[in-house]
Amino acid sequence: MPVFVNGRFGSQPVTGVQRVARQLLRGLDRELAGLGARLSVEVLAPRNASHLPILEHIGIRTVGRLTGHAWEQLELPLYARAGVLLNFANTAPLLQQNQIVMIHDASVFAIPETYTPAFRWWYRALLPRLGTRARRILTVSSFSREDLSRRAGIPLSKIDVIPLGAEHILESAADARVFGRVPVRPGAYVLTVGSRSPHKNLGAVVTAVAGMNGTQPDVVSVGTSESRVFTDSGPVTARMHATGHISDGELRALYEHALCLVYPSLYEGFGLPALEAMVCGCPVVVSNAASLPEVCGDAALYCDPRNPEDIAAKIAQLRNGDQRNQVRTLGFQRARAFTWPSAAGALVQILEDLQGT
């Protein structure tokens, strides 16, 4: 039975979910080189999918006349009816039963105020139904597995966990030209990465830095606000530099020269920027909430995300060279446990098990 991949993510802006989809698809492509005829995989894509990766062993076929949700719900099931449909990006056609769906987290239930009313209504209706109809549900952490079961009513026995990788950030050379347009000194800024959504808690970082004794570091904020999905929040001050969209090379340079990454999210299904920072040798301060302790282990300094004084204290600790080096070393070690080949291998095992049932 062939495996068809839902290629709609290739028509969407590349944020965290789409990046994961790209990396898993690339990893699956590499895995197929050693599998021979054991798996047949093809991407089915809408006509506006212009952001799909280059693949060697997986074909890409443009199908249908529609785009967006209409393509996914109405046309995709017709072309995927002869096989198993693999969906990487949270959504999938309700008419398809023979499918696997990756749902990254239960945030639409846990923090509904983060999302616009239309988005919130659609996802809260869609996810439980996908959990009922799909053959398997994939997610990215044990935290998300338990939260999806509790909040969306998906049986735990139906959910498989595939931890993510982060070494993709090393595929692009560090581009120090970013410092020509972001007016900060290397080593004298703290970095935040993510949208300006309320649950990312960016305001707590700005407040924390403003209350620090001595020379206060600047804050460099990487990410954009997606108004169709997230409600906007977070102050902008003279010491905060919002970069908007940047290249992976520029992001790598910012990771490599930051005092630290501060990631005080109130809710995360995984927390990919924390691992990206570790891969680049950037010390990490993260929230003690949600999936972050599971992902970061002993390789981060943990803060109370609702206490700016605690965030400030953790940043101050990393001004000590010995502690900073210790956290960097632990980060390198921790990141080695999360790789895209491991994720792709786990995905292939799930696909092969499903083929045998």
Condensed to tens digits (0 to 9), the pLDDT of residues 60-112 reads 999 999 999 999 999 999 999 999 999 999 999 999 999 999 999 999 999 99
Check pLDDT > 70 for residue 238.
no
Tens digits of residue pLDDT in 247-274? 999 999 999 999 999 999 999 999 999 9
Q: What pLDDT shows up at residue 357?
A: 67
How confident is residue 237, by pLDDT bands cut at 50, 70 and 90?
low
Is CATH 2.30.42.10 correct for 3-165+339-355? Answer: no
How confident is residue 232, by pLDDT bands cut at 50, 70 and 90?
very low
Instruction: Check for a shared fold between 3-165+339-355 and 167-335.
Output: yes
Number of other residues whose CB lies within 10 A of the CB of residue 245: 12
CATH superfamily to which 167-335 belongs: Glycogen Phosphorylase B; (3.40.50.2000)
* Better-scored residue on pLDDT, 198 or 178: 178
Tens digits of residue pLDDT in 281-333? 999 999 999 999 999 999 999 999 999 999 999 999 999 999 999 999 999 99
Q: Where are the domains of the chain?
A: 3-165+339-355, 167-335
Tell me the mean pLDDT in the region 188-193.
Answer: 96
The segment with the largest mean pLDDT, out of 34-48, 99-113, 237-251, is: 99-113
Q: What pLDDT shows up at residue 245?
A: 83
**Rounded (10°) angle between helices 142-152 and 117-133:** 100
Tell me the mean pLDDT in the region 139-168.
Answer: 98
Mean pLDDT score of the chain, rounded to an integer?
Answer: 93
Tell me the mean pLDDT in the region 6-13.
Answer: 96
Half-sphere exposure at residue 334, Cβ-oriented, CA atoms within 13 angstroms: 26
Q: What pLDDT shows up at residue 221?
A: 94
Q: What pLDDT shows up at residue 297?
A: 98
Specify the long-range contacts of residues 350-356, CB closer than 8 Å, at least 24 apart.
350/100, 350/136, 350/138, 350/160, 350/162, 351/3, 351/39, 351/84, 351/86, 351/100, 352/38, 352/39, 354/84, 354/100, 354/135, 354/136, 355/1, 355/39, 355/84
Residue type, 321: G
Q: What pLDDT shows up at residue 228?
A: 45
The span from the CA of 23 to the CA of 29, in Å, is 10
How confident is residue 279, by pLDDT bands cut at 50, 70 and 90?
very high
How confident is residue 229, by pLDDT bands cut at 50, 70 and 90?
very low
pTM of the model as a whole: 0.94
